[in-house]
Structure 1
């Protein structure tokens, strides 16, 4: 497949389903439908988060793309601004929706209709800017989330000259092979798309809704954990697998660093059925490996999983269900129940849960 042969259309021609000015939810909005069980979970969580933050432990919040499409950017930003979360993480789609909302105040196309027209995902501004941000970020030593966050925070990207990149690669191929290779990849992109050295302005109309930009501003890790081919930016001819890999690898290792600080800490997985459990289990295993070498263990961590699927199985009291029980196939519960510490599952809409959590936390003080 030659992506240069694709017809790539401007975002202005795309019909969207989510609008920032209409769909963003204020953090003080009362939750609509929160069960007693979900309220109990929030009441359990609040003192645990408070204690973890006072003791310098990790408080990690991972979520799927629907959390962003559901208008939760203001609440997620407030959780960071008030110091309640030490790490945020999402998948590749979450990164895209967050960027499109910051860029144009709209996101979420009609997949069914656009696939039939051969238009799904083939949008110039999203593909061009995000892929370029990852190429530049790979060269600058940033992770995936930070690369896109800085694009929003800075309203653009610094484009080096090809001479600067080639000189760096020649001088540092032995002592810094990763950045040297990234320099040459970026050099190829610059030449192929006729980019001029200097600052490339990318004006964002709604930066106040950019979660990644807020994370950059606040110095809080917001990592992205994409899977190749899952996201619309792969349709654009600027897409560079090496840049995706380099930036995503940095984010994975940064995620693992935060997991290493989870002793007596809190991990929340809200509406992430695949990414969160899969990345967590490898990160925890790596972190335990290093901790055990120091004569320590990662323990006492509390894992709170929130999703829409109903489940009556008590994972703490009854252990893992048998394979003939449908609860066995709630992948996230099965994975997290194997991760030590204590795991609880709550059925709730991510909007109601996060609003209730923030509103209860906002009544507390860290000092």
Structure 2
């Protein structure tokens, strides 16, 4: 068979005046003038794509703050590894953040920051003999706190937060867990046994770990039960936090709580399909709005909250 090139002579066309408008000229980016300030920088951004979603998310956080609705941050380990801890601590102090949910990896990194003011290598097999590397001080502090906290019916977040505040570590002001405990902000921690190093430390006890993490899941469900018209941000966690958030919200609704008007967002350049489905689509239903900001959290999170602070002005402490 001989294939002939297709003729386009009879191709139908549409007048441009009848085409649907995709973007207005007023939404295009504008040149930034040096020295004109942060507000003018924000105005120079296009009101399209990721920037437009960031502005919508900013407005939702500002509205939630003004009406005393929940703003909950769910964080994976990269949030701490990329140096965002001091920023989140300040947001806790300013009462912009009302609740935190952390993966086990995020907890480990936060404790390391409290102890040393830095994080250690992410390479888990760093010993020449091939043995799995467990950090002694981190594992001891976390598990000792959990083991004691379980006897007091505390969750992991509260147990570790109290232990950090009892310590004399030099860098506590950069620990989000310690700062949250100091300001009475609830922190839930959701470890994955077998994945988080502190769960394999010799000081770990499964009974304490299970009881404390279960209490923290109930705490998160309690936060979500009071989150109507609030904001839930899932930052740099594509597996654990999206599912935990969705299950926590389902649990709250199952026992009769009404949650409506949620604004949800994933901030992660490599978000999984499950994260987008669970957080952006399902978590915001039936009458909320979800967003996926598909850029690096170490740029987007500071930009987002700087825009929130700029909008609130003297309203924040």
Instruction: Give the TM-score band, short-chain normalised.
Output: 0.7 to 0.9
1:345 to 292, 295, 303: 292
Name structure 2 gaps, 5 residues minimum.
1-37
Describe the SS at the equivalent of 1:264.
Answer: coil
Aligned residue number for residue 151 of structure 1 = 163
Scaled by the length of structure 2, what TM-score is found? 0.78
Q: Does 1:243 align with 2:208?
A: yes
Q: Is the 8 A contact 1:133 1:148 kept in 2?
A: yes
Q: Does 1:45 align with 2:6?
A: no
Aligned residue number for residue 334 of structure 1 = 277
Q: Does 1:230 align with 2:177?
A: no
How large is the RMSD of aligned CA atoms in angstroms? Answer: 2.4
2:304 to 350, 357, 364: 357
- Greater mean deviation of Cα atoms: 346-355 or 357-366: 357-366
2:265 & 2:136 partners in 1: Cα distance?
38
CA drift of 1:366 comes to 5.6
Q: Does 1:104 align with 2:116?
A: yes
Q: Is the 8 A contact 2:309 2:316 kept in 1?
A: no
Name structure 1 gaps, 5 residues minimum.
1-27, 156-202, 311-328
CA drift of 1:210 comes to 1.0
1:268 to 216, 233, 247: 233
Q: Is the 8 A contact 1:54 1:366 kept in 2?
A: no
Q: Is the 8 A contact 1:111 1:120 kept in 2?
A: no
Q: Is the 8 A contact 2:124 2:133 kept in 1?
A: no
Describe the SS at the equivalent of 2:249.
Answer: helix
CA drift of 1:258 comes to 1.0
CA drift of 1:269 comes to 0.8
Relative contact order higher in (CA < 8 Å, ≥ 6 apart):
1
1:221 & 1:239 partners in 2: Cα distance?
23
2:130 & 2:143 partners in 1: Cα distance?
20
2:122 & 2:253 partners in 1: Cα distance?
43
Which structure would you say has the larger Rg? 2
| CA gap 1:154/1:234 in 2 versus in 1, 3 angstroms | same
2:66 & 2:164 partners in 1: Cα distance?
31
Encode CA deviations 1:12-41: one digit per residue, 9 max, x unaligned.
xxxxxxxxxxxxxxxx9x99xx99633322
2:174 & 2:165 partners in 1: Cα distance?
11
Encode CA deviations 1:134-167: one digit per residue, 9 max, x unaligned.
1011112221111111111110xxxxxxxxxxxx
Q: Does 1:306 align with 2:267?
A: yes
Describe the SS at the equivalent of 1:109.
Answer: coil
1:135 to 129, 132, 147: 147
Describe the SS at the equivalent of 2:119.
Answer: strand
1:82 & 1:42 partners in 2: Cα distance?
20
Scaled by the length of structure 1, what TM-score is found? 0.68
Q: Is the 8 A contact 2:71 2:230 kept in 1?
A: yes
CA drift of 1:109 comes to 2.1
2:79 & 2:146 partners in 1: Cα distance?
23
Encode CA deviations 1:90-125: one digit per residue, 9 max, x unaligned.
100110110011112232325265266344332321
1:80 to 74, 83, 92: 92
2:216 & 2:230 partners in 1: Cα distance?
20
CA drift of 1:56 comes to 2.8
CA drift of 1:131 comes to 0.8
| CA gap 1:124/1:366 in 2 versus in 1, 3 angstroms | closer
2:133 & 2:120 partners in 1: Cα distance?
10
Q: Is the 8 A contact 1:98 1:210 kept in 2?
A: yes
Report the number of matched residues. 268
Describe the SS at the equivalent of 1:362.
Answer: helix
Q: Is the 8 A contact 1:134 1:147 kept in 2?
A: yes
Aligned residue number for residue 13 of structure 2 = none
2:246 to 269, 281, 303: 281
1:57 & 1:291 partners in 2: Cα distance?
19
